[in-house]
Amino acid sequence: MIEDKILHAKLYFNMPEALRAAGGDVSAGAVDFEPYVVEDREVITGQNPRSDKSIAAKLIEALRRVPVTA
């Protein structure tokens, strides 16, 4: 859909396929273009730009878990 409706061109590679080929574990939300965030240890990632607020909330939660040292 992105290639046809937005870019009007072919992508060089498909990110989920490239990540899987490199050994990554890729998941996606049930609905395209809806927020979807995954937190795996120190990595927080989102499916698309609409995930920005959810990513920010997860980041703030993660930062609150970090002990403060003087």
37-70 pLDDT per residue, tens: 999 999 999 999 999 999 999 999 999 999 988 7
14-35 pLDDT per residue, tens: 888 999 999 999 999 999 889 9
Give the pLDDT of residue 3.
Answer: 84
Beta bridge partners of residue 46, listed in sequence order: 37
**AA letter at 2:** I
Residue 6, pLDDT above cutoff 90: no
DSSP letter at 23 equals: T
pTM exceeding the 0.85 threshold for the entire prediction: no
Provide the b/e sequence for 55-65 (b: ≥16 CB within 10 Å): beebeeeeeee
